Structure 1
Amino acid sequence: MNREQRGVVKAVSVIAALLWVVLGLRFGWPFWVLLTLIVVTIAAPWLVIWRYRRWKVQRLALAPRPVETVEPPERPNPTERPLSGVPLRSAHPDYKFLFSGTVFWYSKPDAPGLPHVDPGGLAADLILEQARRLVAEVPPDEGELAEYRLNAALGAERCDPTGHVAVWAGEVRLELPESDAARLRRLAEARKQRELWERARDHERDKRAYLADEVLKTPGSALVWWLAREDCNVDEAVRQIGNLRRLTAAAHDTRVPAPDFDAPQWITAVSADQPSMHSFLLEEFDLGNNGGGTSHHVLAAIEGLATGEERAVLSRRMAEVLAAHGHREMAELVRDTFDASNRRELPGSGAS
């Protein structure tokens, strides 16, 4: 609201107040009513104007202000400088990468001091220095991955410490010489083969330890292992007891135990020089007849333990022992069978 509008409001307010005075005097209104009407008539327009101005200020404060966009200054046309086959040391000192790429640079117009004599060389040195720091942490076999990292790191514009040159790089390539790449492939293959060999060796060690410390620890453990693998074939297990005992002793470099005479089929056949001698094989034993079975066992024991003259001596001693214990009939059978040529009266036979 300008000054003229405010003057109009004042004039209207004064005229309205005078009108209330005239009406109040004409009709005899009370003084307080007349005073109230005059105050309201004069103050109301100004109150309305004040509220309007405040609303307008708030509206202007909430209205969005236009943002002034400042366009960046145009980059000068850069100068290109190619780099090719620059050796850079990798994380392994004996392997070097070959760095290639294109260096882009331009001189800063507001650079302090005198301009550089060779700004292109300054730009290339800046790129190579940063590439050298990055490549020094890369293993020789990760060149392809490092190439992407280099393109990302060197693609951002930067300035040299003196502020004369702005520089960046693109089309970066990182390669190993073919001889080094072939050597790395051979080393990788050798490591894989060694790992396979070590795993096979460890498997063999575990198997040997399992057999020596668990399976062949005792003849009993070997027998249980054999039964588990042969689906509890008890008959065959009994026949293999002697073999398992010898195998257990050999596995622990101990003396092979004496033959087990209680094992099945321990009786040997009759030698060829005694064709007339009867062979008391285990299959011929009559286990149903207690007396006959016992005599067969005794005769078979003598036959299996000795041969020739030694068998005759053993039979005589066995007969004497049997006779001393009251088994005269069995003693006679032993002497008749093995020592008939030198038969003599047994003790306690009753001869006088």
Structure 2
Amino acid sequence: MRPDRTGHLQVMAEGVTLTLREHDQERLNKLAEVRKDKAVWEHQRKYEQSKREYLGEDVLKDTGSAVVWWLAKNDDHVEKTVADLGLLAQLTSAANDTDVPPRLRDLIPQPQSERPDLKAMDAPPASFEREPTAADHFEAFLAGMGFTDGDVRRGMLAKQIAEIIKTQDRNETAEELLRRFDPPASYAPDDDATDDTAPGL
């Protein structure tokens, strides 16, 4: 009970109901949905940032860290881990925009068509091609994993690695990976207009 302004009455209210106009209620409902969407988006963004930091600063910091992480995931497949050392070295190099260390280059698997023959082994150093880029190492990693052209996992992995590289201020390399392995749909040539002589993307 509360006294009124005159002090002569003691009054109270029960069962108070607030009724909003329809457009006011709609506006409040939209605001509530926006707040929920924002909370979900912020949670996803923090999760993605945390995942990139974990991969870039811990898992893919160097080849040794990647090997330890791979062993922890596959502790009963030591032989497979040893066989995948070259792939892990390539993935680590691509994530850090660096060349594969010379001591690990012999472990990198090469497609049969790219393996040097005896003539190539006897050729002078001047005949060798340019140094492979981070994108070249990533291409070899994808091929070693069996992710051939047209496999959607190529684009997914390229996006994840590109995000990691961007956190290390390697934007040019990140863009190169995206152009090469995950080009925008508008860049993809039409089936009817495909030139047989043009190199594949």
TM-score by length of 1: 0.29
Report the structure, 1 or 2, having the larger strand content: 1
TM-score by length of 2: 0.49
